[in-house]
Amino acid sequence: MALITCKDLAVGYDGDAVVWGLNFEVRAGDYLCIVGENGSGKSTLMRTLLHLQPPVSGEILLGDGLTAGGIGYLPQQSSIQKDFPASVREIVLSGCQSRKGLRPWYNAAERQLASETMEKLGITKYAKRCFPELSGGQQQRVLLARALCATGKLLLLDEPTAGLDPGVTTQLYSLIEDLNREGITIIMISHDIAAAVRFASHILHIGRTVFFGTREQYEKSGVGRLFLAGTQEQEMPGRPEE
């Protein structure tokens, strides 16, 4: 059984589909990159996978013990408020919110998980620092730690490297690669097609043509070749969607 299976999925807003005919599945340990032009519906698809909005039609099946609240989500940076007074520890701990349920406090196990995750991502030294004062790369690590606290299985990353400088981008990609090797399944939206074909095991290309398959199949496919050739010249790196 796959973690996520999408059957004839159409996503969009208020009943108007932006993308339709999506059939794909994500198995444990996969590294899936979702690519496509601006406005092709990548973020809409991600919001639908997260149950932030209902699908227009078709269905999303969760399997292998994955629950809707058990997905670790790394939103685009722009969705976080600037100047919010929050320490790194508070933010990472908030990744345990679905484990905590209605209990008004975090228990020892959840605090332990937050500490271990911060240690793993090398942000323990910032634990008491204020989030808005950190650099873009450090902030992404904090949000990644929060996402990891929410899941042991699946991470959904929405343009994780948008707005980061090249060195930090490379570090973040290798961090994500390490997590994937440890068995965490990755679904990533990316503008960075070069990175997508370098790291991903599977590619989902959405837009006028929909493609789903392994990286090797994508590189040989018509749509893949076209996109790989085209985007390297046109696409501005790090430009956020919408």
Partner 1 sequence: MDGFGKIIFYLQYPFVRYALIVGVLIALCSSLLGVTLVLKRFSFIGDGLSHVAFGAMAVASVLKITNQTALVLPVTVLCAVLLLRTGQNARVKGDAAIAMISVGALAFGYLLMNIWPVSSNISGDVCSTLFGSTSILTLSARDVRICVILSVIVIALFLFFYHRIFDVTFDENFARSAGTHVDRYHLLIAVIIAVIIVLAMNLVGSLLISALVIFPALSAMRIFKSFRSVTVCSAVLSVLSALAGLFLSIAAATPVGSTIVAVDVLVFFVCFLIGRFGLRAG
State the DSSP string of 88-154. HHHHHHGGGHHHHTT-SS--HHHHHHHHHHHHHTT-GGGTTSBGGGS-HHHHHHHHHHHHHHH-SSE
CA–CA gap between residue 19 and residue 42 (Å, rounded):
9
Our finding on whether 13 is near partner 1 (CB under 8 A) is no
Residues forming beta bridges with residue 6, ordered by sequence position: 24, 60
- Largest alpha-carbon pair distance within the chain? 54
CA–CA gap between residue 4 and residue 6 (Å, rounded):
7
Contacts (CB under 8 A) with partner 1, residues 76-95 = 79-81, 83-87, 89-91, 94-95
- Nearest residue (CB) to partner 1, 72 versus 207: 72
Given 4, 18, 19, 150, the residue binding partner 1 (CB under 8 A): 150
Binding part of the chain for partner 1, among 13-21, 99-107, 169-177, 231-239 by CB under 8 A, reads 99-107
- Nearest residue (CB) to partner 1, 150 versus 193: 150
- Nearest residue (CB) to partner 1, 146 versus 202: 146
Site for partner 1, rule CB under 8 A: 50-52, 67-69, 71, 73, 75, 79-81, 83-87, 89-91, 94-95, 97-98, 100, 104-106, 128-130, 133, 146-147, 150, 156
